[in-house]
Amino acid sequence: MMSTDSIQNKKGPKDSSIQSIHKAGQASGLGTWPGAGMGLSIGSNSRSGLLGPTRRQALGLVGYTLLGGSSIAQTAIKTSFDGLHCAEVMLNVDGYSVPVYTSAPIDSLGQVPKGLPVMLVISEIFGVHEYIADVTRRFAKAGYFAIAPELFIRQGDPQAYSDMQSLMKEVVSKVPDAQVMHDLDACVDWAGAQGADTKRLGINGFCWGGRVSWLYAETNPQVKAAVAWYGRVSGEHNQLQPFHPIERVMQLKAPVLGLYGELDTSISKAGVDEMLNALTNAGERGVSAARKSKIKFYPNVGHAFHADYRASYNQAAAEDGWNLALNWFAQNGLRR
């Protein structure tokens, strides 16, 4: 079994800088990070609400486009910008610019309070499109400093693709796990530099990001809790993915809540049951995080049941899972 250090490159510098990507004025609905002193972002938002279409609403939406046809599903949730500061910034990680969408609550003076718990929001294979950006706003409404990094950007822009097969072959399959872990470390360092409380760190991921949630909870001892929505736990090995979550359960550093659909054809229930058995065995061998971890199956529900912009959305399961996730993070020390 590989050591914890084997998945990680050298941690990103503590003074990771932010670069400007666009000065769009008031129209785009995104804002500069207040008090960051490290960069500039797109447009602005205010407590009075969204002033215009966001960059992601105007340009990308590859998740909607690939799977929902030319229009967004009627079930797509649109979280208000009221009471939030939202921004898209460019995080300089070892000289490479990584787009990061952030959302956080603001106080009566319009400032982001110091000491907010940090929530990493990890996308499906479609990158940080509007659904993922909206999830960061939902976490911000719950009191988190939420960050959604574009983890595919070195290999390509998911929003430039119009078919799933090409996206998987040309971008997703070429992303090394070590690169992902390193970028997440840099995001955490940046959040700390903005005054967020990185001792209260959570990670929430969907599909591809669900697997990342498992791996990061097995890698970074700062993580307090993780939620993995229908994330793969096993699979084939290669140089970019030398191991999978089920093989590193003994290294688990934070409890994970796994949320799965029993009818998911891409992630078998039998495979997730094996993960559950591995967690039980690790817990019996003294791994506290494994003993505390839980997996829930939703009957008559398939893959991507939380994705409200897709036909796979199941409102009852999505709402139940969301409430479980918020409670999970609170119970494991992210909320005071």
- Give catalytic residues, as residue numbers: 207, 264, 303
Task: Give the integer Cα–Cα distance in Å for 254 and 140.
Answer: 22
Do residues 257 and 227 make contact, with C-beta atoms less than 8 angstroms apart? yes
Residue 114 CB neighbours (<10 A):
11
Neighbours of 152 (CB within 10 A): 24
Distance CA 124, CA 121 (A): 10
* C-alpha distance from residue 61 to each of 41, 139, 157, 243 (Å): 19, 20, 12, 31
- Which residue is listed with tokens 């939902």? 138
Q: How far are the Cα atoms of 33, 221, 231, 260 from residue 66, in angstroms, in the given order?
A: 31, 36, 20, 23
CA distances from 19 to 22, 25, 30, 33 (A): 9, 17, 15, 12
The partner residues of 82 in beta bridges, in order of sequence, read: none
**Rounded CA separation 196/18 (Å):** 16
> Do 111 and 55 touch, CB atoms closer than 8 A?
no
Please tell me whether residue 19 adopts helix, strand or coil conformation: strand
| Whole-Å CA distances, 158 to 104, 127, 151, 236, 270 | 25, 6, 10, 23, 31
